[in-house]
Amino acid sequence: MTNVYENILGLIGNTPMVKLNTVTKDIPATVYAKLESYNPGHSTKDRIAIHIIEAAEEKGILKPGSTVVETTSGNTGFSLAMVCIIKGYQCILAVSDKTKAEKIAYLKALGATVYICPANVPADDPRSYYEVAKRIHEETPGSIYINQYFNELNVDAHYRTTGPEIWEQTQGKITHLIACTGTGGTLSGSAKYLKEKNPDIKVIGVDASGSILKGFHETGEINKDEIHPYQIEGMGKNLIPSALHFELVDEFVRVNDEMSAYRTREIALKEAIMGGYTTGAVVQGLIQYGISHELSTEDVVVAIFPDHGSRYITKVYSDQWMAEQGFLNNCVHNYEEVFKTEFVK
């Protein structure tokens, strides 16, 4: 039988790519979006959830009745909760208070226990979601801590799946890979595979204004003065994750909340792709990169769209939320004017 699976986990991976025709019209290169929302958990994090959990099973670390603990901005939590249901594990998640209520409801609907932690505290603060997850793991017998920011299996999952898929889908013609960076696993694993195939492929990471990753890549030092609150979930960091292999990244581009929000909604309106906030961020990053670099008609760019916009209906897709952030009130109808008058930073 075709397209019939034993359970939902059989749908993970082999996501489609779609050519972007409108939002990247000013870029001479051919641009494809890798739609990770086509995973059953609707994000790229499905890949690492099943890979890390199955690796733990093979080592005998996870046994029936075990508990999986993790730090998440939402997507990894969804994926872990989904895998835990099928495999019979308990799931405990620590999330930041930037996480919208509908995401928390989604996690709970999948049976996860959720702890909400303040976002704007140092990573080593005992209240941070990193430290809370560690404490829960230590206090929970028979648990494992996924630790996606510092777990090399995060990178390996994408080295084994995402990278090869992109290479095959572009028939080896890819010249540029661009993706948002949070843990760094998606970009690093994909880049590692692709650069083994062709070292000339350019790898571009997209960082958030308020994060330290771009600055660290350029200087090798952490500049705490760069840290400030921002709204984009799932990208940027106030710590340096070991899952982000900086040596594989040719350049970082930094984007802000407002322009990324406009791009997210523009992609929905002009390409009919309902992507998450980071979808807009990666396209904004690509456009900024295109302004400062000469891309040609021979170039083939793959942009990884990490998740689905349904998780951001009360955030970036909400006119009220946009207005509350001080963004353009009539943003749905004024993209062209915004992009003409706003200098790309």
CA 161 to chain centre: 16
| Average pLDDT of span 53-78 | 92
pLDDT at 336: 56
Spatial distance between the Cα atoms of 28 and 32, rounded to a whole number of angstroms: 13
What are the residue numbers of the active site?
Answer: 45
Please check the confidence at residue 335 and state whether its pLDDT lies above 70: no
Q: Are 45 and 73 in contact (CB under 8 A)?
A: no
Six token digits for residue 115 = 């702890």
**Domain topology for 8-38+160-341:** Rossmann fold (3.40.50)
For the chain, domain boundaries: 8-38+160-341, 45-150
Please check the confidence at residue 340 and state whether its pLDDT lies above 70: no
Identify the bridge partners of residue 300 per DSSP, sorted by sequence position.
Answer: 30
Six token digits for residue 251 = 């350049």
User: 24-33, 116-125, 211-220, 254-263: lowest mean pLDDT where?
Assistant: 116-125
Give the rounded percent of residues in the chain with a pLDDT score beyond 90: 81
Spatial distance between the Cα atoms of 245 and 266, rounded to a whole number of angstroms: 31
Confidence of residue 341 (pLDDT cuts 50, 70, 90): very low
Buried b (16+ CB within 10 A) or exposed e, 239-257: bbbbbbbbebbeebbbbbb
Given this structure, which CATH class describes domain 45-150?
A: alpha beta
Q: Which amino acid is at 310?
A: S
Give the rounded percent of residues in the chain with a pLDDT score beyond 70: 95
Spatial distance between the Cα atoms of 185 and 8, rounded to a whole number of angstroms: 23
For the chain, the farthest-separated pair of C-alpha atoms sits apart, in whole angstroms, at: 58
pLDDT in tens, 252-262: 999 999 999 99
45-150: same fold as 8-38+160-341? yes
Six token digits for residue 229 = 């609150």
User: How is the beta sheet containing 17-19 ordered, strand by strand?
Assistant: 17-19, 30-35, 300-305, 176-180, 202-208, 251-255
Confidence of residue 133 (pLDDT cuts 50, 70, 90): very high
pLDDT in tens, 311-321: 899 999 999 99
Identify the bridge partners of residue 217 per DSSP, sorted by sequence position.
Answer: none
